[in-house]
Structure 1
Amino acid sequence: MRLPAVTTLGLFAQGIHGAAVLRFGCSSIVVERLDPLVNPGVNPSPHVHQIVGGNAFAASIATSDVSQIANCTTCSFVEDRSNYWTANMYFKARNGTFKRVPQIPNRYLDGEVGGMTVYYTMPYDNSKATAFKPGFRMLAGHADQRAAGGVTKYNAICFRCYNAANFGGDNQAPCSDSTVDSVTLPAKACPGGIRTTIRFPTCWDGTNTDSPDHMSHVSYPSSGTFENSGPCPSTHPVKLPQLMFEVVWDTSAFNNKADWPADGSQPFVFSQGDATGYGQHGDYVFGWEGDKLQQALDAGCFGASCSKLKTQAFSEANKCSVPKAVNEDVDGWLQAVPGQSMPMKAREFMA
C-alpha cells in the first residue's frame, strides 16, 4: 500500500503509524580504508568507507561496551557512541579518472559535515522491541552482490533520484515510489543528488550479539516487511527496532553527460567496485550508553530531540575525531578508486 504523499520526516512526525522514531544526523568522523567488522585488524582494508559516530573507531574495535571506550561522538545524541559506516560513492569520468562524491546534510540537519542520517524505528503495530546490547554488531547487504536477490527482497536497499534541488521528489516514504526510487543506481542525471537508503534486520536470536558472517544472529521478517508488521521467524523471535541509514550524495557537480562514460552508462560506482548499486551495504557497531536507547524508544521519542537524551549541536559534534590510520588519498581526481586496482568492468563481470 502506498503511503500518503508527505516527506519522510513529516510521515514520522505526524505519527501516521504511531511508532517512535529517532531520526538524527551524524557527521563523518573519518573516510578511509578500515573495516573493523569484516576485516578486523587489517590496514588498509579492501575498500573505502565513510564512518560516523564515536571515536572508538579503529582497525579493530573491542567487543566489550563501546560506550565505555569512546568519549565523544559525531552524532546528535551525546549518549550514542556507536559506529555506522557505508561504502563511498565515486564518479568515473570519461577520461577514466575517479572522484569521491561528497555527502550533504539531509533535510533539517544543517551543520552536519558529510555523514548520514540514522533512524531507529519501533514496530508500527506498537509492539515491544528490544534495544541492542553491548557488543552488538551486524551488517546489512552484501558488498559483492551484483544482481537482484538477497536483501532486495526485503525492501532493504534503494536509491532515490532527487529530480530538483532541495530534495525535489522527496514526497513519499523511502523505497515506495517507483518514479524516483530504484534498487539499482539511477541511470539518469539526478539534479538534486542521489539518496542511499539501507534498512537493517529487525529480528534477533536473543542470544548472540554477533555471528561469524555478522548476519546469522539477526533476520528480516519471515514474511512481509518491518513496515507492514511482518512476523519474526521462530529462530529469531526477538523484535529489534529498525535501524536505517540515509546518505545523500551530492552528484550535482557530475551531471554533465559530456563527462560521463562514452557509452552513456551511469557513471557512479561504490568503492568496492560496484557500479550496479546491488552491493550497497551498511555496517553497525552498537555503542549507546547504558539503556539510553531503550529509554528513548519506550518514551516514544520522535526526531532529533528526546527528553531521555542529551542533544549536542553539530558545532560540538564536529569536534570529535579519530587519527587517520591509512596513508593514502581518497579525495581529488584519482587514477583508480583506492583498493580497486583491477579495471571496473572486469570486476563487475567477475562478480
Structure 2
Amino acid sequence: MTTFPPDFRMLSGDNKRRTITIPVPDPPKSFWSEADITQDALRQNAIGFNCLGSDPPEGSLQRHSLPSKALLDRSCSVGLRLELMFPSCWDGLHRDSSDHRSHVAFPSLVQDGVCPDGYPWRLPTLLYEVSWQTTVFANRSGSFVLANGDPTGLSYHGDFMSGWDPSLLQSAGEQCTDSSGDISACSLFDIESEPCQFALPAELRAEDYHGPRIGLPGIGLPYRH
C-alpha cells in the first residue's frame, strides 16, 4: 500500500445519478458476476444508507438508496447513517483527472479484492460515515431528500482532497494497526479539537436555511432528473 501523494484528489458517487442498475438486494459477493464488478456497478455499491437500530442490524453499504420515511419511522430507532466508500486503486501517475475519477478505481469487491489492470497501486481505503437523527421527525408528515434535491439518495457523493504529510500518513499506515479504529490509539497523532471560526458566507446569510420553508435552499423544490 502507498499513501496519497501531495495534492491528490478524487471523488466517489455521482451527483447526477437517479436510477439504480445493480441487483436489489445485493447478491452474496461470492456469487458476483462480471456485470457486478464493472466500475459503474462498484460505484453504486460504494454508497450506503444504514438503518441504525434495526433488528437485525444492517451491514455497512448494504442498502444503496434512501429509505422511505415510513421505514425510517418504523425500524430505524437510532437514525440513519449515510456511508460512502472511495476508490482505493490508483494508476500511480496522476494526482487528479478531468472527471476526478479516471485515475482511480475500485477493487473487485468495493473495499477488498483485486485492482483492475492499469491501477497497480493500492491506496488507503476511505469510508465516510455521516449519521442523521431522523428520529426527531418521527410520525410527522413529509419525506427526506438530499440537499441537491434528490429524493432517491442515489446521487450521494463526496470529494477527497489530501492535505496529509505523505511521510506521516505512510508511517501511520505501517505503525497504527489497532483494530478498534480509535484515532487516539495512534501515538503519531496529536488530537486537537478546534472550533469553526470562519465567517458565514454572504449567500447563506441571505438564505432562510432554518425553515420551515417550501423547497430547498438554492434550488427550490426537490427534483428527480
Give SS of 2:201's match: coil
Are 1:288 and 2:164 counterparts? yes
Aligned to 2:66: 185
Please state how far the C-alpha of 1:232 moved relative to its aligned partner: 1.0
What's the C-alpha RMSD, in Å, of the aligned pairs? Answer: 2.1
Aligned counterpart for 2:127 among listed residues 244, 247, 266: 244
Are 1:308 and 2:188 counterparts? yes
- Matches of 2:170 and 2:147 in 1, distance apart? 34
Q: What is the total number of aligned residue pairs between the two structures?
A: 195
Contact 2:145 2:151 in 1 (8 A): yes
Q: What TM-score, normalized by structure 1, do the two folds share?
A: 0.52
Encode CA deviations 1:149-175: one digit per residue, 9 max, x unaligned.
Answer: 435566311111123xxxx65856412
Encode CA deviations 1:48-100: one digit per residue, 9 max, x unaligned.
Answer: xxxxxxxxxxxxxxxxxxxxxxxxxxxxxxxxxxxxxxxxxxxxxxxxxxxxx
Moved runs in structure 1, 4+ residues, more than 4 A?
A: 151-154, 168-173
Structure 1, unmatched stretches of 5+, are 1-128, 176-180, 261-266
Please state how far the C-alpha of 1:339 moved relative to its aligned partner: 1.9
Q: What TM-score, normalized by structure 2, do the two folds share?
A: 0.78
- Matches of 2:151 and 2:42 in 1, distance apart? 16
- Matches of 2:152 and 2:44 in 1, distance apart? 18
Structure 2, unmatched stretches of 5+, are 22-39
- Matches of 1:145 and 1:298 in 2, distance apart? 37
Give SS of 1:322's match: coil
Larger helix share, 1 or 2: 2
CA distance change for structure 1 residues 273 and 259 in 2, over 3 Å: closer, same or farther? same
Contact 2:50 2:59 in 1 (8 A): no
- Identity in percent: 35
- Matches of 1:153 and 1:269 in 2, distance apart? 20
Contact 1:154 1:225 in 2 (8 A): no
Encode CA deviations 1:292-337: one digit per residue, 9 max, x unaligned.
Answer: 111111113332120122122xxxx242433332422333322221
Question: Which runs of structure 2 are paired with 1:1-351 in the superposition (5 Å)?
Answer: 129-149=1-21, 150=40, 155-163=45-53, 171=57, 173-175=59-61, 181-187=62-68, 188=71, 189=73, 190-221=76-107, 223-227=108-112, 230-256=113-139, 258-260=140-142, 267-302=143-178, 303-305=182-184, 306-312=186-192, 317-328=193-204, 329=207, 330-341=209-220, 343-344=221-222, 347-348=223-224, 351=225
Larger strand share, 1 or 2: 1
Question: Residue type matched to 2:110 in 1?
Answer: T
- Matches of 1:137 and 1:236 in 2, distance apart? 16
Contact 1:140 1:151 in 2 (8 A): no
